[in-house]
Structure formats: C-alpha cells, structure tokens
Amino acid sequence: MMRHPLLSVKDLRVEFPTRRGALTAIDGISFDLREGEVLGVVGESGAGKSITGTAVIGLLEPPGRIASGEIRLKGERIDNLPPAAMRKLRGKRIGMVFQDPLTSLNPLFTIGDQIIETIMTHLPVSEREARDRAVALLEEVGIPAAGQRLSAYPHQFSGGMRQRVVIALALCAEPELVIADEPTTALDVSVQSQIIRLLQRVCRDHGTAVMLITHDMGVIAETADRVAVMYSGRIAEIGPVRDVIKSPSHPYTIGLMGAIPSLTGDHDRLTQIPGSMPRLDSIPRGCAFNPRCSLTMDRCRVERPDLIPAGDSHAACWKLLETEGAGR
Amino acid sequence: MTNAPDESAIKLEAGSRSRWSRILDSDIMHSFLRSKVTILSAIVTLLFLFGAAFAPWIAPHNPFDLATISILDARLPPIGMEYSDPNYLLGTDDQGRDVFSGILYGARISIAVGFLSVFFAAIVGVLLGLIAGYVGGKVDAVIMRVAEVQLTFPAILIALLVDGVARATFGNLDRERFAFWILVFSIALSFWVQFARTVRGSTLVERNKEYVQAARLIGIPPFLIMIRHVLPNVIGPVLVIATINLGLAIITEATLSFLGVGIPPTQPSLGTLVRIGNDFLFSGEWWIAMFPGFALAVLVLAVNLLGDWLRDALNPKLR
Amino acid sequence: MLAFTIRRLLQAILVMLVVALISFTLFRFVGDPVNQMVGVETTPEQREALRERLGLNDPILVQFGRFIAKAAQFDFGTSYQFRQPVAELIGRRLPATLELSFVSAVFALLVGIPMGVYTGLHRDSWLSKLFLSISLIGISLPTFFIGILLIFVFAVTLQWLPSFGRGDVVQLGWWSTGLLTWSGIKALILPAITLGLFQMTLIMRLVRSEMLEVIRTDYIKFARARGLRQRSINFRHALKNTLVPVITITGLQLGSIIAFAIITETVFQWPGMGLLFLQSVQNVDIPIMAAYLMLIAFLFVTINLIVDLLYFRVDPRLRVERAAH
C-alpha cells in the first residue's frame, strides 16, 4: 500500500466574494507535507500564507471559502468534512499557534482551565490526569513552577511566556501537524529565537510536523526542512531549504534572498525588488510577478507558469524551461 | 514651524471637503437607497414634519376653537364602526374634538419640544465639551463630575424635579403658561451630557496636535483654531446623537405630559392626548388614546430608524 | 482591593453629599417651609416663633449639617399634604416598588441575555431579524403606551389580568409582599413586563453587539482552532467576556428601573414610591420630593458600588491592576 503524505494540498483555490465579484486569495496551490517535517511558508504580507494555513485547519472567515481543490490528511479528504467532524479534528490532529500571544488566550480563564478543557475535549482522560498532563506540558515548554502557574491568568505572564503556553495548548492533544502562523512576529526580538527553538524542539520530540508561516527568511533557514515561497496567492518556488536558499531559481526568490542581510558580509548592500505585490483585485495576466521581474519575456505576460523542476526544488518560472532547453 | 499654518490650512480644506464628499459619498447614498426601511422612515418623518408644520391648514377641524366643537359630537367612534360620523376620520374625544386633528396639532407640539430641547442640549453640550477638553484641569474635572452625577439620574426624574421646582416657584397657573419652555428646558438639561462627552474626547485629541501649538506661536487665539478644527470632526457624531436623542426627547415629553406634569390639556401634545384618552379605555372608547399613542410610536420609530441608519452610515465600524 | 473599595466608598459618599445639597436646597429654599405648615390666619409673631423652633434662622451650614444628620436617621420631616412623617409614608410604599423593580429586572435579564446571545451568534437568521425588529419597536414605544396597550389587550379585551393595584398582599413584618398570593402575582405580570420591556431590549442589543465583537477576537479563534465544543466556546468563553459591560449597564439600568417605575406605577395605579413621588411633584410636597431624591441616589450609589465589586469577580485582570494602585 502506498504511504500517503501527512498533508496533501492539491490545486487549492480560496475565494472571497465581494460586491465587485470574487477575489481569488489563493490561486491553485499544491504542496505535500511529510510526517515530522517542518515546512516553511514564506512571502510578503498578503501573499496568502495565513489564508493557506486557515484553509487547512478549516477556519476560513466567511464569506471566504474554498472554491476548488482538495486538502487531504493522511490520504483522507478534510476540506469537505461536516463542521462537527472538522471540529473534532482541530486540536486533536491539527493544532494551530497564532501570531499574538497577548490576545490568543482568553483573559478570563486560568491557564490551567484552558489547557485542561482542551485536553479533556479530545482525550478520554479524567480531570486529574488532564491536570497532570497539563503540568507536564507546561514544564516541557519551559514554564517554571508549572504546578502553581496552572491557576494563574494570562495577564500574569510575559509575552514570551504566553507564547509558550499557546504552544503547549496547540500540542496538548498530540496533533500530527501544527500550523504556526507568524509565531514570533509579535514578540520581543530577544525572545523570538528562544520560541522558535522551543517550537522546533517540542515538535521534534513529539514527531509533530510543522507548517511554519513567516515572512522571516532567517527563521526558515534556521528551522525548516523545506520551504514554499508564496507570491500573490501562488507558490513561486518550493523545495529543500538548502537548495532554495543557496541556489534560488525563481527571480522573486532571488530577490527575496538579496533582501536578507548576510552575516558573512559578502554583499556590500541589500538588493531590493522594485515595485510591490499587486492587490488581489489587480493581479496581472500570466505570471503574477512579471511587472516586477527583470527577466520578463513575452510568454510571462500571457501564460501562467506551472511549477517546473529545478534541481531538487520546483519553481514557477518560464525562464527555467528556456535554460533547461538551452542546456540540452 | 514655518509650514505649520499651511498644514492647518490644508487640513481645514481636507476636513471640509471630506465632510461634504462623505455625505455625498456613493456608499452612503448607496446604503440609503438600498435600505427600503430607511427610505420609508424618512418619508414617514417628513410626513409628520409636514403635517405638524401645516396643521392649521391641513387639519379638518380646529380642536382649540370652542365655537366649532360640539359636545353633541363627543365620543364618536372612528370611520368604519357603528355610529361613526364621516366628518371625523378617527373619531372624537369626550369634548367632541376630532382625534385626527388633535393628532396633527399634538404632533406639532411634540416635535417642537423635541427639536428645541435637542437643539439647546446640543449647543450647551458642545460648548461645555469644548471648554472641558480645551481648558482641562479643574474646569474639566468639575464639568465632567457634574455630567457623571447627572448621568446617574434618568431624564424623566430630572424633568420631574425641574417641574416640581417650577411649580413651587411660579405657582400652578403661571407654570401652565410657561409649561412649554419649562419642558424644553428640563429635557435639554438632561440631554447635554452625551454631547459634552463626545466633543470633549475629540477636543482632547486635537488639542495636542502641532498645529494648535503653532497657531499659538503665530498669535492666532488657539481656541478659535480649535473650534474650527474640532467642529468639523464632531459634526457627524453630534448629528447621530442628536437624531437618536430627538426620539428620546419626544418620548420624554410625551411621558411627562402623560404623567400630567408636561403640556397642559388646553394645548395638548401627543402625550397629553393619550392621558386624556386613558380614562375612556375601560368604557370602550379605545380610539381616543390608541390613535395618538400609535402616531407617537410611529413617529419615534421612524426617527430612531433614521438615527440608526445615520450612525451606521457615518461610522461603519459600529455595526 | 481594599484600597479600591475605600476609594469607591469615598466617591459614593461625595455623590450622596452633592445630592443631599440639592435636596436640602429644594427643601429649604424652594417654597417656604413655614408657609406650607401654617394656616393663613397665623400671625407674623407665631411664624417667627415657628421659624426659630425649626432652626430656620440658624447659619445655612448648620442647617445643612442638621439636614444630613436627620437624613442619616431617615428623618425627612413631615409631608405637607398627608401630615405624616415622610419616612413612614415612603417605608409603606417601598416594598411595592422594590418588588416590581426586582421582578422586571429579572425578567429583562432572563429574556434579554439569551436573545442577545442568539442574535449575536446567528446574525443573519430570520429569528434574529425578528428579535431585532421587535427590539427596535420596543425602544420606540414609550413605556406608558406599552402599559396602556397591555391593559387594553389583557385587561379590557381579554380580561385575563387585572389592570390596577397589587392584588392581595401578605404582611411579613413591615414588608408587604404580593409574591405569595395568586392575585398578587397576577397583578404583577403586566406592570413587570411594561417596566422590563425597555431594559430587555437594551440588554439584548448590548449582549448582541458584545457577542459580535468577542466572536471576532483572537482567543475565540484560538479556542476554535483547538477544537473546543461550540457550546463551550459560545457560552463559556465568549459569554463570560461579554459580562463586564452587561453588568455595568444592568447595574445602571436597575437604578433607572426604579425611577421608571414612576411611569408604570402611574399607568397601573401601583401603590409604590413612584406614584407617591408623582403626587408630591403635582402637589409641591417638597419633603417627599427631597426624601425620594435622596433615596433614589442612595439606591443608585449602592448598586454602582456592588457593580464595581462584581467586576472583581468576573475580570481577574482588574484584581491585579487595581490592587497595584
């Protein structure tokens, strides 16, 4: 029997109906995620990273909806599950960590209440067992004196500590996949790498796969196994982190790499991509990146490129066909 | 610093332009035209205003002209019922006065009290809000403390107290002569707080902006500048509060008149008419109280719906 | 917590002093108390003697002090129209008003909160739209007219319920209650609905808008992302967060319910304080007006104090922040 990937997204399309017709926020993206793997999803804000994450966990805000395509978890379709079945799957099989730990926790309930309720919703344990489990989890994510902190309210924790609690909450029913949506953006720079390393360590220990959504290439480089670069609701390039960073194929990824300050200092200045990402209602024909690309050909303005193999990764760029053909 | 006056001029222009374009903005017109309820309530409100303004010309009878009313016509039921008289569309009251005409004349007084009291409340509230926000310190503290204490008392209670005081100082007969203005005064007195709070908030925001400091430096009285800048900003909210309070003021007036401490029966408002009719409810002459009551309810409902729409249209976030 | 309580208590006392000053001004300067107490044939000498005896010639501050001292012992003098001690008159009427206010507040909460939750969660369902339309009509109908309509339908036309009075009351010590007899309960229904309807619509609209806001917060999204049961999200996590504003408004409204009882009591001839107050306004019976004002202020202030303390029960953030002050 063929082994299914943990998560498989095929031709996913997400639309937001408006007064002036439907806006396509995600336009036919496909990717797989293996068990225990960390997939970085990177792109500018508005590229559709977060929407991809919320679509996978089935929490798209109405009127947003999945227009076509499918999402499979271990081969089983989950994009068309009835709400009750999807509710049971959330937290149990797919967890999620949000951006802002200050607002992610309900201010009127103790940390213990929130963790214990989540555990008891998904696992057949007594309240006592749930409590012990909660303490163990909090210890695991590095909350000191976890037993006493159970009865503390969110406002009594610092931002970094709250994000640890959020991670514990996302993991408390042992999900197979965690979607981390910009988990460090709202935090102090000083605690960002701590939290990323914690997330990485805890997920590795539990064998949990991670879909790490961020606009920070540095975080991806440090954490992810593979990376998907998104642009205007499409995947521009996807592949192993090392390949994408060392030898990016898509002009957008190349530009993105140029925009990261390098510690070794071989660049004397940062290159910047001219222009900005198009708005959802004015995505150009053909390759969405063509107006900003320095290598645009006629074909780029007319026909949208599919993902084309480039070494171990894939990139959606017509230039690749050309160089490949020239090489033969 | 040198470009500060320019900046304020630009801001002013932008302020006044955006206000007009905001009112005429397609989204607002769109929301107005889209909502049948809003159009209907606008029409109803206009009908009431028209009927009230031209009551002496529209009304089939003059309920105050003792020469034309006859006790023989008393307690006639509305058209469609047995014993009704085609001259009296909605029937007559115990004195033989036409109920329909009474409603037109009554609406005249109810609407006048409503408009005047909201108008005075808005002026007092906006001024006190500006002063509290601009001067700050003790003046602000005193004004806002008074507002707070007053907020704890419902409008009805304040109006009743004012009325009691008026009776004690003027005596009952003189009070009746001034009843209209006492009513306007007491309702205005209880409605100024909301205006003051809103305007104070905007004033506090504007006060610390650079152009106000700059104006001070180049010798323009900052208070004048403030008024010119704050007023355009608060016109929207003040308008919304005024519309919503108009409904409340009309209800308050009607309630006071119903309780017998408002407009006297010689010049009945809608509330007074309900009070008069209430006595005949049990003897089966329901129309004397019900028609004025429904007229009042429809008027207030229409005004409230307009206020709701205005609030949503000017401030989509609140929806 | 203690410091906060003490500070709120001092504020409450300040408000009471201001209201006392207003009451005193009413009592002392609006209408001459002596004129009200004596007949036309009294000589100027007798009037002066009475003035002296009543202490009206003392310095104002002394008089004010005496007024407060007496008020603290519920001594508000004698009613001009009834020639009876004001405290006794009000004491006899108090249970009727408090029972009516309490029952209508409970009605408003028990019906208003579930309706608000429902309309907040299902904002586009036809039932929500119906509730909202009814609430708008409820806000637009003046209280007295609601009462008259109810009387017309249920008392005059259908003759199911009485239209005036309290029915049979049972005396429990000085407290007279209508809640223990069938006729007392029947008499209570229409007035309680009349008085509570406006508050009910207010509470419903408030809960609805708070619900709509809370539903959009990150912690509710996170709760959904954790797969918590819908019922727990709606009624545990979301509803509790709407409670702080609901408690505030309900507290404030409880005060205005007692004041609005004036209208309901007039419509239904309910023998409570409101009716007494209205009569006192019409007859310029200053001692009753002054006493009623003080009593209402006292109730308001007490309710506000309780509301503030309730916050601490609901919102743990306040416990820390306020204690730090």
Number of Cβ atoms within 10 Å of the Cβ of C68: 16
Q: C149-205: per-residue pLDDT in tens? A: 898 888 888 888 887 888 787 888 778 888 888 888 888 999 999 999 888 888 888
Selection from B284, B45, B251 nearest residue C145 by Cα: B251
Search chain A and give the residue with CA nearest C232: A117
Alpha carbons within 13 A on the beta-carbon side of A220: 29
Search chain C and give the residue with CA nearest A151: C316
Q: Least CB-CB distance to A153: which of C220, C224, C316?
A: C316
Lowest mean pLDDT among A41-45, B66-70, B244-248, B268-272: B66-70
Return the pLDDT at A9: 92
Q: Least CB-CB distance to B281: which of C152, C281, C286?
A: C152
Residue B94 pLDDT greater than 90, yes or no:
no
- Distance, in Å, from the CA atom of A183 to the CA atom of A295, rounded to the nearest integer, reads 35
DSSP state letters, A67-90: EEEEEEETTEE-TT--HHHHHHHB
Residues 6+ apart with CB under 8 A from C196: C103, C104, C105, C107, C108, C257
Search chain C and give the residue with CA nearest A57: C225
Find out whether A69 and A9 touch, Cβ atoms under 8 Å: yes
- Distance, in Å, from the CA atom of C44 to the CA atom of A208, rounded to the nearest integer, reads 99
Residues 163-222 (A) with a CB less than 8 A from some CB of C: 166, 169-170, 173
- Distance, in Å, from the CA atom of B192 to the CA atom of B120, rounded to the nearest integer, reads 8
Domain A35-58+81-235 has CATH 1.10.3730.10: no
Q: B166-221: per-residue pLDDT in tens? A: 877 776 666 677 888 888 988 898 888 888 988 888 788 777 777 777 777 777 77
Q: How much of chain A, in percent, has pLDDT values that exceed 70?
A: 93
Query: Are B308 and C136 inside 8 Å of each other by CB?
Result: yes
Total structural domains in chain C? 1
Query: Are C286 and B149 inside 8 Å of each other by CB?
Result: no
Query: Are C225 and A89 inside 8 Å of each other by CB?
Result: no
Residue A326 pLDDT greater than 60, yes or no:
no
Amino acid at B317: K
Instruction: Report how far Cα C39 is from the mean position of its chain's Cα atoms.
Output: 37
Q: Least CB-CB distance to C320: which of A108, A156, A169?
A: A156
Find out whether A106 and A154 touch, Cβ atoms under 8 Å: yes
Return the pLDDT at C253: 76
What CA dihedral angle connects B51, B53, B58 and B59, to 10 degrees? 80
Query: Are C218 and A90 inside 8 Å of each other by CB?
Result: no
Name all chains with 3 or more CB-CB pairs below 8 Å to chain B.
C
Find out whether A275 and A282 touch, Cβ atoms under 8 Å: no
Residue numbers of the domain that contains C257: 86-284
Most confident of A233-242, B7-16, B30-39, B194-203: A233-242
Alpha carbons within 13 A on the beta-carbon side of B293: 24
Strand runs (DSSP E) across chain C, as ranges? 170-172, 175-177
Find out whether A170 and A96 touch, Cβ atoms under 8 Å: yes
Selection from B108, B126, B110, B113 nearest residue B239 by Cα: B126
Residue B301 pLDDT greater than 60, yes or no:
yes
Find out whether A218 and A260 touch, Cβ atoms under 8 Å: yes
Q: Which helix (H) or strand (E) holds C218?
A: helix C218-225
- List CB contacts (< 8 A) between A59 and chain C: 221, 224-225
Q: Least CB-CB distance to C225: which of A96, A117, A122?
A: A96
Lowest mean pLDDT among B3-7, B71-75, C185-189: B3-7
Search chain A and give the residue with CA nearest C217: A103
Q: Least CB-CB distance to A118: which of C228, C230, C241?
A: C228
Return the pLDDT at A115: 93
Picking from A103, A104, A106, A156 by the largest number of C CB atoms within 10 A of its own CB, the best residue to mutate is A106
Q: C56-84: per-residue pLDDT in tens? A: 777 878 888 888 888 887 787 888 778 88
Of residues A88 and C163, the one with the higher pLDDT is A88
Return the pLDDT at A57: 92
- List CB contacts (< 8 A) between C137 and chain B: 297, 301
Residue A316's pLDDT band, with cuts at 50, 70 and 90, is confident
Picking from C23, C148, C277 by the largest number of B CB atoms within 10 A of its own CB, the best residue to mutate is C148
- Distance, in Å, from the CA atom of C154 to the CA atom of C192, rounded to the nearest integer, reads 14
Residue B48 pLDDT greater than 90, yes or no:
no
Give the N- to C-terminal CA distance of chain A in Å, as an integer. Answer: 37
Number of Cβ atoms within 10 Å of the Cβ of C202: 21
- As a whole number, mean pLDDT of residues B216-233 equals 75
List beta partners, residue B98.
Answer: B92
Q: In Å, how far are A277, B75, B78, B158, B295 from B96, measured between CA atoms?
A: 77, 6, 12, 35, 20
Return the pLDDT at B76: 66
Of residues A153 and C179, the one with the higher pLDDT is A153
Q: A117-126: per-residue pLDDT in tens? A: 999 999 999 9
Find out whether B175 and B182 touch, Cβ atoms under 8 Å: yes
Query: Are C221 and A117 inside 8 Å of each other by CB?
Result: no
Of residues A310 and B118, the one with the higher pLDDT is B118
Q: Which helix (H) or strand (E) holds A171?
A: helix A159-171
- List CB contacts (< 8 A) between A91 and chain C: 225-228
Residue B22 pLDDT greater than 60, yes or no:
no
Residue pairs between chains B and C whose CB atoms are closer than 8 Å: 117
Task: Residue count of chain C, please give it.
Answer: 325
- The C-alpha of A199 sits at a distance from chain C's nearest C-alpha, in angstroms, of 17
Return the pLDDT at C40: 65
Residue B319 pLDDT greater than 60, yes or no:
no
Q: Is A287 helix (H, G, I), strand (E, B) or coil?
A: coil
The answer to whether C122 contacts chain A (CB < 8 Å) is no
Task: Residue count of chain B, please give it.
Answer: 319
Instruction: Report how far Cα A96 is from the mean position of its chain's Cα atoms.
Output: 10
Of residues C66 and A167, the one with the higher pLDDT is A167
- Distance, in Å, from the CA atom of C134 to the CA atom of A303, rounded to the nearest integer, reads 56
- As a whole number, mean pLDDT of residues C217-224 equals 90
Residue C307 pLDDT greater than 60, yes or no:
yes
Q: Least CB-CB distance to C223: which of A89, A92, A106?
A: A106
pTM: 0.77
- List CB contacts (< 8 A) between C296 and chain B: 153, 157
Asked if this assembly's ipTM is beyond 0.90, the reply is no
- Distance, in Å, from the CA atom of A296 to the CA atom of A274, rounded to the nearest integer, reads 14
Residue B28 pLDDT greater than 60, yes or no:
no
Q: Least CB-CB distance to C255: which of B152, B164, B255?
A: B152
Q: C238-267: per-residue pLDDT in tens? A: 988 888 778 777 777 777 788 788 999 998
Return the pLDDT at A165: 92
- List CB contacts (< 8 A) between C15 and chain B: 149, 152
Find out whether A240 and A309 touch, Cβ atoms under 8 Å: no
Whether C295 maps to a domain, the answer reads no
- Distance, in Å, from the CA atom of A234 to the CA atom of A292, rounded to the nearest integer, reads 16
Search chain B and give the residue with CA nearest C251: B152
- Distance, in Å, from the CA atom of C243 to the CA atom of A108, rounded to the nearest integer, reads 11
Q: Which helix (H) or strand (E) holds B293?
A: helix B287-314
Number of Cβ atoms within 10 Å of the Cβ of A324: 12
Q: Which helix (H) or strand (E) holds A11?
A: strand A7-18
Residue A176 pLDDT greater than 70, yes or no:
yes
CATH of the domain at C250: 1.10.3720.10
Pairing of strands A76-77, A94-97: unpaired
- Residue extents of the structural domains in chain A: 35-58+81-235, 247-259+284-328
Name the packing angle between helices B287-314 and B222-259 (round to 10°).
160
Whether C300 maps to a domain, the answer reads no
List beta partners, residue A315.
Answer: A237, A308
Amino acid at C34: V
- Distance, in Å, from the CA atom of B120 to the CA atom of C80, rounded to the nearest integer, reads 35
Of residues A239 and C36, the one with the higher pLDDT is A239
Selection from C221, C217, C227 nearest residue A94 by Cα: C227
Amino acid at C204: M
Mean pLDDT (chain B, rounded): 76
The answer to whether C324 contacts chain A (CB < 8 Å) is no
Instruction: Report how far Cα C56 is from the mean position of its chain's Cα atoms.
Output: 33
- List CB contacts (< 8 A) between A118 and chain C: 226-228
- List CB contacts (< 8 A) between B293 and chain C: 142, 145, 148-149
- Distance, in Å, from the CA atom of C29 to the CA atom of C99, rounded to the nearest integer, reads 34
The answer to whether C223 contacts chain A (CB < 8 Å) is yes
